[in-house]
């Protein structure tokens, strides 16, 4: 049973891989009074439109060994979505547990009052007719929204949208507001390295810098916990480090066999982007394909996500409903406490077995099919190709 001192904090993450900055975040969340921590984590495909370097089960285990108590998977349809949809799905899962007290996240500004002001400006400006007019002239959505916010609310508020962590923080708070959730936001100022930065300070760096070091065989040992280092070394020895380049021919094959009507159904396709993708079918490499599609209006991350959605088969209609279940990837004894507290409060099923979750409804069945398919594709992204069906055979036990 939940005692008076039990305080459950939620974290939204990708841990690709788990590094010292993540460890700092977990420690600060504990210091804020959290006795239990549950993380919603992207699975084998991440929000920047790429494969995770390590499979979701091992990343989840490393996170638990480093201080997280329970890791729940964000369905692939949501992990390969815009920041807004990514945040909405993640917050929905935490809220659906029915027992999460706060959502802990990093931000460049470190002030909730400023972030709330940005949320209100974002909601207000997203409803203005001027936004649609700007989009029709070829301006990207983020740039158009920021320009309107600057005009209506001032440069100080608009500048908050320049920070990638601020941007996600704003979307988390917005999701809490729109879901009418009782979860309280709690922000920790981002320490040293920026998200996706190629520089680092002390023993803190971005995950993208660590991935770069990994692929270039540069030293990064001081930047990650020993649990992460052991995991990466083990996976590298077994040829199980994933790289998007290993999916190059699959991506090219898929696009060469898709029609414009099929492309139009893919998640995040719009504004005639399917025509630009089709015109790039002649490409002979993944990078050439990206360059051929990219314009000022279509950011590279959006294009990468669309291409991943295309090979997996994620359609716009797959995001019409919120996540129908919570798939448990790893947990410890405190994680069991969280699930016990959620037993009579959760609004959707939470379980370790994908097969059991598939039996909870038609939408759940569709989601499990996408998840299994995405893992089968991911299994081709590693050096030593893995067998199909791994999502159904995964053994998830309680970690010490």
- Average pLDDT, stretch 51-61? 97
Report yes or no on 273 lying in a domain: yes
130 with 181, same domain: the answer is no
The lowest-confidence range among 17-21, 113-117, 246-250, 266-270 is 266-270
3-state helix, strand, coil in the chain (%, to 5): 50, 15, 35
- For residue 333, the domain's CATH number is 3.40.50.620
For residue 276, count CB atoms less than 10 angstroms from its CB and return exposed for 0-12, middle for 13-18, buried for 19 or more. Answer: middle
Whether residue 57 is found in the same domain as residue 203: yes
In the prediction, which pLDDT does 21 show?
Answer: 94
Q: Same structural domain for residues 95 and 139?
A: no
Element (H, E) at 64: helix 56-65
Q: What is the pLDDT of residues 135-147, one digit of tens each?
A: 888 788 888 999 9
Q: Do 146 and 175 belong together in one domain?
A: no
In a domain? residue 3: no
Confidence grade of residue 1 (pLDDT, cut at 50, 70, 90): very low
Q: Are residues 134 and 153 in the same domain?
A: yes
| Rounded CA separation 393/270 (Å) | 37
Query: Are residue 104 and residue 46 in the same domain, yes or no?
Result: yes
Coil, strand or helix at 354: helix
Asked whether the predicted pLDDT for residue 101 surpasses 70, the reply is yes
On average, the pLDDT of the chain sits at 93
What's the number of domains the chain is made of? 3
Does 2 fall in a domain? no
Same domain? For 261 and 388 the reply is no
In a domain, 292, yes or no: yes
pTM for this predicted structure: 0.94
Residues 61 and 201 in one domain: yes
Give the pLDDT band of residue 5 (cuts 50, 70, 90).
confident
Report pLDDT digits (tens) over 335-376.
Answer: 999 999 999 999 999 999 999 999 999 999 999 999 999 999
Among 125, 140, 162, residue at a domain's last position: 162
Classify residue 373: in a domain, yes or no: yes
- pLDDT of 35 higher than 70: yes
Lowest pLDDT segment from 129-143, 203-217, 324-338, 384-398 = 129-143
Is 1 contained in some domain? no
> Does the pLDDT at position 195 exceed 60?
no
The stretch 51-74 carries a mean pLDDT of 96
Q: Are residues 125 and 236 in the same domain?
A: no
**pLDDT value, residue 192:** 52
Q: Secondary structure of 299-313 in the HEC alphabet?
A: CHHHHHHHHHHHHHC
In a domain, residue 313? The reply is: yes
Q: Is the pLDDT of residue 159 over 60?
A: yes
Q: Are residues 210 and 263 in the same domain?
A: no
The neighbouring-strand residues paired with 189 are: 107
Q: Which of 318, 343, 367 is the last residue of a domain?
A: 318
Within a domain: 221: yes
Domain of 85, in residue numbers: 8-108+166-240+322-399
> Are 59 and 195 in the same domain?
yes
pLDDT at res. 173: 97
pLDDT score of 126 more than 60: yes
Share of the chain above pLDDT 90, in %: 84
Q: Are residues 137 and 269 in the same domain?
A: no
What was the pLDDT predicted at 201? Answer: 53
The DSSP 8-state label assigned to residue 190 in this structure reads: P
Q: DSSP for 256-304?
A: HT--HHHHHTBTT--TTHHHHHHHTTT-SSHHHHHHHH--SSS-HHHHH
Contact 347, 326 (CB under 8 A): no
């Amino acid at each position: 049973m939940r005692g008076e001192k039990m305080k459950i904090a939620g974290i939204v993450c990708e841990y690709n891989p788990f590094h010292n900055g993540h460890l700092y975040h977990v420690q600060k969340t504990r210091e804020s009074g959290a006795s239990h921590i549950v993380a919603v984590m992207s699975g084998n495909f991440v929000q920047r439109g790429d494969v995770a370097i390590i499979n979701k089960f091992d990343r989840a285990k490393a996170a638990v060994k480093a201080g997280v108590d329970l890791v729940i998977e964000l369905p692939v349809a949501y992990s390969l979505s815009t920041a807004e949809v990514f945040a909405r799905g993640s917050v929905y899962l935490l809220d659906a547990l029915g027992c999460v007290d706060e959502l802990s996240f990093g931000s460049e500004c470190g002030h909730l009052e400023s972030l709330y002001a940005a949320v209100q400006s974002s909601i207000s400006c997203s409803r203005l007719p001027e936004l649609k007019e700007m989009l029709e002239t070829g301006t990207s959505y983020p740039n158009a929204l920021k320009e309107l916010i600057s005009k209506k609310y001032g440069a100080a508020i608009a500048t908050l949208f320049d920070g990638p962590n601020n941007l996600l923080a704003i979307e988390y708070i917005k999701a809490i507001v729109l879901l009418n959730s009782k979860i309280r936001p709690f922000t920790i100022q981002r320490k040293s390295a920026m998200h996706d930065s190629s520089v680092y300070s002390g023993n803190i760096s971005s995950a993208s810098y660590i991935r770069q070091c990994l692929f270039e065989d540069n030293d990064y040992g001081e930047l990650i916990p020993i649990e992460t280092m052991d995991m990466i070394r083990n996976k590298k020895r077994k040829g199980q480090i994933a790289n998007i380049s290993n999916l190059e021919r699959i991506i090219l094959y898929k696009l060469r066999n898709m029609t414009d009507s099929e492309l139009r159904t893919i998640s995040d396709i719009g504004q005639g982007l399917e025509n630009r993708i089709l015109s790039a079918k002649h490409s002979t490499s993944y990078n050439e394909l990206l360059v051929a599609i990219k314009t000022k209006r279509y950011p590279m991350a959006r294009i990468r996500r669309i291409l991943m959605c295309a090979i997996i088969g994620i359609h716009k209609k797959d995001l019409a409903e919120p996540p129908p279940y919570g798939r448990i990837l790893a947990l410890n004894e405190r994680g069991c406490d969280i699930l016990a507290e959620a037993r009579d409060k959760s609004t959707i099923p939470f379980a370790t077995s994908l097969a059991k979750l598939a039996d909870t409804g038609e939408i759940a069945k569709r989601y499990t099919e996408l998840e299994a398919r995405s893992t089968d594709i991911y299994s081709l992204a590693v050096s030593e190709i893995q067998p199909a069906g791994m999502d159904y055979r995964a053994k998830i036990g309680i970690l010490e």
